Chain A
Amino acid sequence: MGVVGPNGFLDQPHDLTLYEYDGGVDKHKPDIVVFPRSTEEVAAIVKIANQHNLPFVGRGAGTGLSGGVIPRAGGVMISFAKMNRILEIDLMNERCVVQPGVVNLDVTLAVQGEKYFYAPDPSSQRACTIGGNVAENAGGPHTLAYGVTTNHVMALELVLPDGSIIETGGKEPDLPGYDLVGLFTGSEGTMALVTKITLRLMRAPEMVKTLLAIYDSTEDCGATVAEITARAITPVAVEMLDGPMLRMVEEATHAGYPMDAAAVLLIELEGLKEAVEEQVEQIREVCQSCRAREFRVAKSAEERDLLWKGRKNAFGAVGRMSPFYYVQDGVVPRTQIAGTLKKIGEVADKYGLSISNIFHAGDGNMHPIILFNARIPGQLEAAQHAGEDILEHCISVGGSITGEHGVGMEKMELMSKQFPPETLDMIAKFKNLFDPQCRLNPGKLLPTGRGCMEIRQRPLTEKTAV
């Protein structure tokens, strides 16, 4: 690989094993991993891959949860680990220009001294990259008020699957023409590789208040969320953790969560002092009317950080208890949260699996965590079936199979339950428009048989699937 030099790639089996998985449950090894340092190197790699008829896929930190980065047809993996510079911080214009390998949290860390922040904050924000965030249109707790990644991306530099480089969007809003930034953001790395991103920064709020409402029943907890929405109170984050989840989190983090509660809500309010103080009282009233056992307001920044640390490290806490777990990402209308929690309980009973819940309740984005043991034959499959049952329920109440993790290779088959065939064909047409040879991240997003050129991909074998 003359483009990236002798230290710019990995091709030994023991190295490639490190690149065969992401945060989901699917696996497949690439044939080579390359580490370009510039857009031009990315374009050169893409052209070489095309000449050799090899599939290729971009990779950020590999923290994705839907298999979006798994090179299921092998080929070239393009890691953006060395394209990790913040290119420009332009506070006067509320913009920041970054390479795709920049870690999400590092953007906020770079500007918070000047009282700005980058709003999308996935739980993996200490590791996940902006390039990956753009590919998946990542969310996070605070997207309830501020919107997801697509609402904060102003411009993209892209390497198209034919190796050409285009820039679209700008620091300025409302540029003429079609909103390609909006089309490519969330296309799950199937239509272009992102090599540069212009982000929107926001002014840090004057006041932040973090509240913890503790419940003896998950129904009351779910009802509170519906009531907050119905009363048009606008917190910036409303996170729910159920009892089993609380106990795992508390044992791992010692954040001060109650060990004996059935569920808690972690609620954050931000803004000007006068607005926040009023909302604290409004939410206290809602929580009490919905039979919260206790209502706490974090007294210090330390207390607040600890509560959030517990929330954001939740998956790590689960990992301590169960070596294997499977996270789902369905969305339901906010009035359907209580019913969906009940349904998740039924699904757990049906498959004899333990499922705990931690999720972005404020926007109805559920994250049931299905615990299983892959060493017991049949348990992975049971976990996957349980996940599908839950997602089908989400679709049936007017929701979606994914709020922020993406379809990837995990939920491909469920796409045909959420969308009519004409829509799936249209998605395939867009894919084909930019990647007619189907070399970029093949076998994702669309059900088998509806994507392009399925026949050219090596099928997953039992050996590679687990």
Chain B
Amino acid sequence: MSELCPATAAELAQALADAASRNQKIRLGGNFSKPGTTAGDVSISTRALNRVLTFEPKDLTISVEAGLPYAELTQLLNRHQMMIPLDPPWSAQATIGGVVAANHSGPRRRLYGSARDLVIGMTFATLDGQVIQSGGMVVKNVAGLDMAKLMIGSYGTLAAMATINFKLIPKPAGSRTFCLTAPTLEAAMQKRDEILRGVLQPVALDLLNPEAAELVGLPAQWSLLLQAAGNAALLDRYSRELSAGQMIGEEVWPRVQEFTPMFLAAHPQGRVARFSTTLTDVSEPYRVWRGPMIARAATGVLYGYSERPLSLPAGLKMVIEYGEALMPWAQTGSDYSAMKRVKQMLDPKGLLNPGRLYARL
């Protein structure tokens, strides 16, 4: 398979249009760091679209090309005490475009949100060779349709992102991490409820079952990991109010963030399932899952890890994120036909990343 690496948005649009005119299936990506990318007749990578276009520290905004490595972007922002706290897996290899296309997020989304909250503008190239703009470089903007929302999490099945604009979050003065352990799932959920109903505003609140806790280097117990951020007086307050927990090192977070790549490296045939639940139902996937499981316990997204194919629970909203899709996106709702119409409009021949997006659209 030949690989094209266009270096401008216009070249990207041209590459897409050329492939479409030849009815070629397109494998579209950045660094192709995530497993599950599909085969195609032609491969188009955004890795040469790797520039920072505008960085306005005083406006707390940045515009970057989609192929910019996430790690490079993070380092640049770090130097200015700023951040785009998406905390995605494969953070050392991924491009920012890949992170947004997969709608990857991490532990700190409780406070800072996910890509849909941090992206303020975007350009994307379509199969008919056009470059389309959504939003802009200001933090508040309702002119035109918010088409960027469609691109976030679309796994490159609609169009190819060329540039992405973000609002930036100032880095807090400091942070502290606490681990609260519990003998049972119910006891852990009760501790979580107490935190959610209190006035503390944790940056992150993850629940790990004993299997997952062990794999990130903690004792094999039900573990609530809480990150607090802010000034010293604020962190001291967290220490006082969470005295039942134990203060642990910040180095636990990269292990949580990179759990999926770590697991798949150890178990190439493994499966990663992603569940969406309400806050009260965060406990439900745990009841049916055998294997490590990590929950964004204050958000309602859970990741379950299995070493081998398994029969999947009915009645829960879930998809197979990585590994062979045994049950591709089982439940589709009344909006499925509308999604298909969107796909049909932008990619009528089904050329873009066929089989991605949980092998449905």
Contact = CB atoms under 8 A, between A and B. Distances in A.
Given A137-B142, A403-B142, A398 B137 contact: yes
A160 B338 contact: yes
A244 interface: no
A167 B333 contact: yes
Contacts of B116: 150-151, 179, 182
Interface in B318-345: 319, 329, 332-339, 341-343, 345
A96 interface: no
A376 interface: no
Interface in A380-426: 398-407, 411, 415, 418-420, 422-423, 425-426
B327 to A, nearest CB: 12
A278 interface: yes
B141 A403 contact: yes
A179 B113 contact: no
Contact of A430 (B82, B126, B136, B147): B147
B197 to A, nearest CB: 8
A423 B132 contact: yes
Q: Taking each of A137, A165, A272, which has the highest tally of chain B beta carbons within 10 Å of its own beta carbon?
A: A272
B75 interface: no
A183 B150 contact: yes
B136 A168 contact: no
Say which size band chain B's interface belongs to.
35 or more
Interface in A131-181: 136-137, 139, 143, 147-148, 150-151, 160, 165-168, 170-181
B234 A172 contact: no
A332 B141 CA distance: 10
B143 interface: yes
Contacts of B335: 166-168, 177, 180
A433 B341 contact: yes
Contacts of B114: 173-174
Nearest to B134: A423
Interface stretch (B66-74, B252-260, B273-281): B273-281
B300 interface: yes
B177 interface: no
B142 A418 contact: no
Contacts of B158: 178
Contacts of A203: 196, 199, 201
Nearest to B131: A422
Contact of A186 (B59, B145, B236): B145
A28 interface: no
B253 to A, nearest CB: 20
A226 interface: yes
Nearest to B328: A176
A205 B199 CA distance: 7
A6 to B, nearest CB: 32
Contact of B113 (A151, A205, A273, A360): A151
A180 B233 CA distance: 42
Interface stretch (A11-19, A75-83, A227-235, A303-311): A227-235
Say which size band chain A's interface belongs to.
35 or more
Interface stretch (A41-49, A87-95, A210-218, A457-465): A87-95
Interface in A206-257: 206, 226, 229-230, 232-234
B81 interface: yes
B103 A174 contact: yes
A240 to B, nearest CB: 14
B144 A419 contact: yes
Interface string A333-360: 1110000000000000000000000001
A427 interface: yes
Nearest to A165: B334
B145 A427 contact: yes
A333 B61 contact: yes
Contact of B130 (A183, A233, A426): A426
Interface stretch (B17-25, B35-43, B264-272, B353-361): B353-361
A95 B140 contact: no
B3 interface: no
A274 interface: yes
B279 A185 contact: no
Interface in A266-310: 271-275, 277-278
B361 A178 contact: yes
Nearest to B231: A278
B234 A335 contact: no
B133 A419 contact: yes
Interface in B41-62: 56-61
A299 to B, nearest CB: 22
B233 A274 contact: yes
Contact of A331 (B140, B276, B338, B360): B140
Nearest to B341: A433
Top 7 closest pairs, chain A to chain B, by CB = A182-B149, A232-B170, A168-B335, A172-B276, A274-B234, A274-B233, A206-B199
14 contacts: A148-B140, A151-B117, A171-B278, A177-B329, A177-B357, A183-B342, A233-B170, A271-B201, A334-B60, A398-B137, A411-B143, A415-B143, A426-B130, A427-B145
Given A166-B334, A402-B142, 7 more contacts: A148-B142, A176-B360, A232-B60, A275-B234, A400-B142, A426-B126, A427-B147
